[in-house]
Amino acid sequence: MTHTPHRLEIEDISIGYGDKIILRNLSFQVPHGARVAVVGPNGAGKSTLFKALVGILPLQSGRILIHGEVLGTHKDCVAYIPQREDVDWRFPVTVSDVVMMGRYGQMGWFNRPSARDKEVVQNSLARMGIGDLASRSIGQLSGGQQQRAFLARAIAQEPHILLMDEPFTGVDITTQEMTLNLLDHLQDRQVTTIVSTHDLNLAAARFDLALLLNHQLIAFGTPQEVFKQENLQRAFGSSLLVMENGTMLVDECCPGDEEHEHHHAEAR
pLDDT band at 72 (very low <50, low <70, confident <90, very high): confident
Q: Are 213 and 23 in contact (CB under 8 A)?
A: yes
pLDDT at 238 over 90: no
Q: What is the pTM of this model?
A: 0.86
pLDDT at 257: 34
Position 115 confidence tier, pLDDT thresholds 50, 70, 90: very high
Residue 142 burial by Cβ neighbours in a 10 Å radius (0-12, 13-18, 19+): exposed
Whether the predicted pLDDT of 78 surpasses 70: yes
Please check whether residue 100 is in contact with residue 122, taking contact to mean a CB–CB distance below 8 angstroms.
no
Q: Residues 18, 186: contact at Cβ < 8 Å?
A: no
Q: Are 55 and 99 in contact (CB under 8 A)?
A: no
Helix axes 143-156, 115-127, angle to 10 degrees: 140
Contact call for residues 139 and 55 (beta carbons, < 8 A): no
- Spatial separation of the C-alpha atoms in residues 175 and 88, rounded to whole Å: 20
**85 CB burial (10 A radius; 0-12, 13-18, 19+):** exposed
pLDDT tops 80 at residue 186? yes
Which of 81-85, 157-161, 188-192, 195-199 shows the lowest per-residue confidence on average (mean pLDDT)? Answer: 81-85
Q: How confident is the model at residue 117 (pLDDT cuts 50, 70, 90)?
A: very high
Res. 100 pLDDT band, cuts 50 70 90:
very high
The answer to whether residue 175 scores a pLDDT higher than 70 is yes
pLDDT interval class at 244 (50, 70, 90) = low
From residue 216, how far is each of 7, 13, 89, 142, 198 by CA, in Å?
Answer: 22, 10, 33, 35, 17
User: What pLDDT sits at residue 110?
Assistant: 75
Q: Please give the full DSSP string across 173-193, using - where no structure is assigned.
A: HHHHHHHHHHHHHHHHTT-EE
153 neighbors 94 (Cβ within 8 angstroms): no
> What is the C-alpha separation between 67 and 190, in angstroms, rounded?
13
**Sheet containing 59-66: which strands, arranged edge to edge?**
20-31, 6-17, 59-66, 69-70
